[in-house]
């Protein structure tokens, strides 16, 4: 019976990794829609978000079934509770990708990102996508060292976020209030995707070690 239980737990983690893979695609496509002013791709990101929502419901149903039928304790209970929190983070990452796509759609047919700040936004998107990809692998492998490295790399995102504020608050900013608001929101969305990636990685560490990272 316990072997079946642990197989079910492993299945939940495989589902979590799969959702993270969907989020990685959403981040990449939302960014492509944003920087390429691609209305069709933006709509695709928005419409596909329902599949992430459905995957979350599947994980929640599986976790609650384990809680009610198996009554896990100690380490097993820790894993189930962590999985429920992780899937919430992952769904939120998908939602943030939709927010990026909606900014792209809102400014069509114009490009929402002024040429002067495209390098900053492109780099933020690259960092976010890479962190999501690595998070999926951390979920699959439960690699504590990789989780530690992910937390360290989040520092670059924080620096980029501060840099974007410096750009839009500069006296040389010549792109208007609308573009400034878009840039502030986009910076926040990518930063939060990174933050949620770190949160998921931290929960993996908790599952493996029983201790929450500082």
**pLDDT of the residue at 72:** 67
| Cis check: omega of the bond before 54, within 30 degrees of 0 | no
Confidence of residue 32 (pLDDT cuts 50, 70, 90): very high
**pLDDT of the residue at 214:** 62
**Of 97 and 176, which is predicted with more confidence?**
97
**Beta-carbon count within 10 A of 48 CB:** 17
Q: Is the pLDDT of residue 205 over 60?
A: yes
**Residue-wise pLDDT tens digits, 45-99:** 999 999 999 999 999 999 988 878 776 677 778 888 899 999 999 999 999 999 9
**pLDDT of the residue at 173:** 87
**Domain 2-209 architecture:** Up-down Bundle (1.20)
Angle between helices 176-209 and 144-168 (to 10 degrees): 170
**pLDDT of the residue at 151:** 82
**pLDDT of the residue at 77:** 82
Task: Please provide the DSSP assignment of the chain as one string.
Answer: -HHHHHHHHHHHHHHHHHHHHHHHHHHHHHHHHHHHT-HHHHHHHHHHHHHHHHHHHHHHHHHHHHHHHH---HHHHHHHHHHHHHHHHHHHHHHHHHHHHHHHHHTTTS-SS-GGGHHHHHHHHHHHHHHHHHHHHHHHH--HHHHHHHHHHHHHHHHHHHHHHHHHTSTT--SHHHHHHHHHHHHHHHHHHHHHHHHHHHHHHHHHHS----
Confidence of residue 181 (pLDDT cuts 50, 70, 90): very high
**pLDDT of the residue at 123:** 96
Confidence of residue 20 (pLDDT cuts 50, 70, 90): very high
Task: Please provide the DSSP assignment of 166-197 as one string.
Answer: HHHTSTT--SHHHHHHHHHHHHHHHHHHHHHH
**pLDDT of the residue at 213:** 76
CA dist 2 and 58 (Å) reads: 22
CA dist 127 and 19 (Å) reads: 19
Question: CA angle, 150 as apex, 147 and 153 as ends, to 5°?
Answer: 155
Of the candidate ranges 60-74, 124-138, 146-160, the one whose mean pLDDT is the lowest: 60-74
Of the candidate ranges 6-10, 93-97, 187-191, the one whose mean pLDDT is the lowest: 6-10
Of the candidate ranges 43-47, 123-127, 129-133, 155-159, the one whose mean pLDDT is the lowest: 155-159
> Could you tell me the pTM of the whole model?
0.93
**pLDDT of the residue at 182:** 94
Domain boundaries, the chain: 2-209
CA dist 192 and 204 (Å) reads: 18
**pLDDT of the residue at 46:** 97
**Beta-carbon count within 10 A of 42 CB:** 26
Confidence of residue 167 (pLDDT cuts 50, 70, 90): confident
74 Rama class: left (phi>0) / alpha (psi -120 to 50) / beta: left
């Amino acid at each position: 019976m316990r072997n079946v239980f642990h197989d079910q737990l492993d299945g939940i983690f495989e589902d979590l990794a799969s959702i993270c893979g969907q989020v990685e695609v959403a981040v990449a496509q939302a960014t492509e829609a944003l920087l390429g002013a691609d209305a069709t791709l933006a709509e695709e990101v928005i419409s596909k978000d329902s599949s992430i929502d459905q995957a979350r419901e599947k994980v929640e149903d599986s976790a609650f079934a384990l809680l009610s039928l198996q009554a896990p304790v100690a380490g097993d209970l820790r894993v189930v509770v962590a999985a429920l929190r992780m899937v919430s983070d992952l769904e939120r990452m998908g939602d943030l990708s939709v927010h990026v796509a909606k900014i792209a759609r809102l400014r069509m047919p114009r490009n929402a990102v002024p040429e002067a700040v495209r390098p900053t936004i492109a780099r933020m998107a690259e960092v976010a996508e890479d962190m999501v990809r690595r998070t999926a692998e951390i979920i699959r492998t439960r690699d504590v060292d990789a989780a530690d490295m992910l937390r360290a790399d989040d520092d670059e995102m924080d620096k980029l976020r501060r840099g974007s504020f410096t750009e839009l608050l500069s006296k040389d900013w010549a792109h208007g209030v609308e573009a400034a608001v878009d840039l502030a929101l986009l910076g926040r969305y990518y930063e939060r995707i990174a933050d949620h990636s770190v949160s998921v990685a931290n929960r993996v560490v908790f599952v493996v070690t029983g201790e929450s990272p500082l």
